[in-house]
Chains A and B, each alone.
Chain A
């Protein structure tokens, strides 16, 4: 029974990583937001699985919050912002899609390599998940760096945060509830504030391309 549960956790974690790859491959803004929502859904289900296996009931709350906030509310906010400022539909990556995918693959390998010493001491149900989480985190960072629109940078940050959450749930079975709640609150506020500034950037620079933000330098 336990092995089936473990396979389920590992499978969901792999799904989260797969979503990160799909995000890198996406050509359209709307797809990116949908893929992110899907990734958060997988993450929420993973949290629910861990809660079921370990019997820690507070992880159920975390799972529910992940699904409500990251899979439903935040994608809604992002879609709303994109419709209001009439963002162009293409992603406009500064590194083309095939190379991006190759780099993302390389990052996943790096993540496995780096976490090897940690996996030795890891707990039983979630050994591989740490490597997957780190891979998701690195791919999120990569998306932030290579996608020029302000909105894609926000999504990259959120993907990083998803990777982080997966690590938190897998290595430590989640943190104390008050901390988890605080982190959710911070993420939500951060997205709202960034949303406001996306509006302002569009209003002031007439574009969302952050490569225009090059005035302040020495």
Chain B
């Protein structure tokens, strides 16, 4: 069953590569994404109702099922949005059919690597898949082949590859922490299930495990975009084609975070959540501080959104660091809400880019007059991402705050609130200038693409609905995941 799931994006990629009519390619990509979505729903349903599934090298527990749903959902939205966005750029002759084909097939290869990240039981294979996401997305980030995108891609590959090398060392040490103490058992020692069982029985070597977690956190943390390893992120996210920006921000960061969480669970089972939790807190607060500073200074709206992704990954890391039921619950919910809202904002920014032909915020104003629907949706997205009620991010950020206050993380909670306030003010200042005022250049009135606008409407509705109430099934699912973390049961 899981094999089928992993094969879907591969087959879609192959199909996209060999078709030679624009509409056929778009149809194949959308169908493939829809099929993946359906399969993920089916398999996740099974996991949440009857427990984890293990098949060969694959393993799917509640946490991976949740991440799988996120990947499939954002992939589906991005596939539809791309029809509008890349189609428009194709019509403007920014690139030819060959490049369009390459775009759709690489997108599906990227999805394949992400599905593999969340489905694999073997931590070594998970590492391979995470490195694979970098390689698959390298050409997508450098898609436009300009000086800027080339620079962004080079930084992206080099910095992420170095980071991930450290993560591999961490993985090897985690493996060593079991093999060294229990000689002869080397077969399944890289499997997460084996490691976590051994950790619960306190069979791992604590010293090696600590060093291993630090290396993994720094390594995968580079890919998550945690400060101070975030320097590639604003470049790559702003230079990539808009659908890819949404994909990178919305789910790729979450996938890397998932890698850290796997090790967090192992480490906390062996030596308690204190050690790894404190490190997560530290990186979380640092990321918030860095993001707040650069959001104030931002000049380019896609970079603004990229820094906001660093902020939100900081919040997620902070939530897991705080721990306890509410901290973890809030952080999990925040992953979903961020994926939904950030996709919405990147989709909006794509429409702005197609209309104004510039990423410079000082040259964009009067969106409300030029494209009223997009402007409204974009503004709603901006309010949502900065944590205003009634949007969903308010709910998850508030849950994390509640978790922080009830577990006596007073200083952290105070810093958290302070940075959120600063970011809110700065973000609204920038977006306000883009949306209101008189248009900076005489532009024809009207929305750019109907498909894109419809996708955005769906996302706004979703973020409002999730902000007003959490459906029972989501609540149950998240509660089940929280119980995977030690200290989350209390």
Contact = CB atoms under 8 A, between A and B. Distances in A.
Interface stretch (B16-24, B153-161, B319-327): B153-161
B235 interface: yes
A216 B142 CA distance: 14
B138 to A, nearest CB: 5
A205 B147 contact: yes
B132 interface: yes
A187 B57 CA distance: 21
B138 A193 contact: yes
A210 B159 CA distance: 13
B148 A216 contact: yes
B208 A175 contact: no
Given A175-B175, A186-B131, A193-B157, A213 B165 contact: no
A168 B172 contact: yes
B153 A118 contact: no
B142 A200 contact: yes
A131 interface: no
B102 interface: no
Given A172-B172, A175-B190, A182 B235 contact: no
B433 interface: no
B399 interface: no
Interface stretch (A16-24, A64-72, A157-165): A157-165
Q: Is the interface of B mostly helix, strand, loop or mixed?
A: helix
A213 B142 CA distance: 14
Q: DSSP class of A's interface residues: helix, strand, loop or mixed? A: helix
A208 to B, nearest CB: 11
Contacts of B153: 197
A139 to B, nearest CB: 13
A121 B208 contact: yes
Given A118-B208, A167-B169, A172-B186, A197 B135 contact: no
A215 B154 contact: no
A157 B139 contact: no
Given A172-B179, A200-B145, A193 B135 contact: yes
A118 B165 contact: no
A201 interface: yes
A78 interface: no
Interface residues of B, number: 52
Given A118-B211, A197-B138, A186 B150 contact: no
Contacts of A210: 154
B190 A176 contact: yes
B239 interface: yes
Interface string A109-141: 000000001100111000000000000010001
A123 B181 CA distance: 10
Interface stretch (B296-304, B439-447, B476-484): B296-304
Contacts of A118: 173, 207-208, 211
Interface in A183-218: 183, 185-186, 189-190, 193-194, 197, 200-201, 204-205, 210, 213, 215-216, 218
Given A118-B211, A121-B208, A171-B173, A179 B157 contact: no
A218 B186 contact: no
A1 interface: no
A215 B125 CA distance: 36
B186 A164 contact: no
A190 B235 CA distance: 20
Contacts of B155: 213, 216
Interface of A: 117-118, 121-123, 137, 141, 144, 150, 153, 157, 160-161, 164, 167-168, 171-173, 175-176, 178-179, 182-183, 185-186, 189-190, 193-194, 197, 200-201, 204-205, 210, 213, 215-216, 218
24 contacts: A118-B208, A118-B211, A121-B207, A137-B165, A141-B162, A150-B154, A172-B175, A172-B179, A172-B186, A178-B57, A179-B190, A185-B128, A190-B157, A197-B138, A197-B157, A201-B150, A204-B146, A205-B147, A213-B151, A213-B155, A215-B151, A216-B148, A218-B294, A218-B298
Given A167-B172, A179-B125, A182-B125, 18 more contacts: A118-B173, A150-B154, A164-B168, A164-B172, A172-B176, A172-B186, A175-B190, A183-B127, A186-B131, A186-B132, A190-B131, A197-B138, A200-B142, A200-B145, A201-B154, A215-B148, A216-B155, A218-B297
